[in-house]
Amino acid sequence: MSSPVSLIGPLGRHPRRALALVGLACLGLLLFGIYLQHVEGLEPCPMCIVQRYALILVGLLAVLAAAVGHGRARSLATAGAFLSAGFGAFVAARQSWLQWFPPEVLSCGRDFYGMIESFPLKRAIPMIFRGSGDCSAVDWTFLGLTIANWSFVWFCAFALLLLGLLLRRAPD
């Protein structure tokens, strides 16, 4: 049976680099999401917002794990990043399911201006962070996959890499 280090390749021999790469990839994905929102005009839905928070958590915990020395602190931060990636994958899978099998009644959220006009600012601000797009809508694709599909792929890749780093036995 292959060791976990061989399953994740050369990144397993350099865990700090691997963790920093995960953090950098998360930053790139977040910036791309912001580009799609502000330049292309795609409104994030509540599930997209949750995935963004999960991606932020994965990135921050991976960078934290890369910054600390080896040992318990790195393992805890890596485990937290792994769990966050798993949660993000779950939400992305659920959104993909909604896109493949849209519900008859959509109840994902309100539009931005409707929130500002209908509610006092104290209630509208938290609603803004929940997103306002339709979770089952497919507004963008690349190579036949939606944003939720790509999000699932990335979260799974992060989770597998992080799991490999957690299971490796060789000290760095």
Q: Please tell me the predicted confidence (pLDDT) of residue 118.
A: 66
Check: CB of residue 89 under 8 Å from CB of residue 152.
yes
What confidence score (pLDDT) does residue 10 get? Answer: 52
CA distance 115 to 120: 9
In the chain, domain spans: 14-167
Question: Could you give the 3-state DSSP secondary structure of residue 138?
Answer: coil
Q: Are 84 and 50 in contact (CB under 8 A)?
A: no
**Tens of pLDDT, residue by residue, the chain (172 residues):** 444 444 455 555 578 888 999 999 999 999 988 887 888 887 777 778 888 899 999 999 999 998 887 788 888 999 999 999 999 999 888 878 777 776 665 545 444 445 556 666 666 556 555 555 566 665 755 587 777 888 999 999 999 999 988 887 545 4
Which residues fall within 8 angstroms of residue 107, CB to CB, at 6 or more apart?
Answer: none
Looking at residue 4, what is its pLDDT?
45
As given in the structure block, the two tokens for residue 31 are 């910036």
CA gap 48, 45 in Å, rounded:
5
Q: What is the 3-state secondary structure (H, E, C) of 80-136?
A: HHHHHHHHHHHHHHHHHHHHHCCCCCCCCCCCHHHHHHHCCHHHHHHHHHCCCCCCC
Domain 14-167: what homologous superfamily? Answer: DsbB-like (1.20.1550.10)
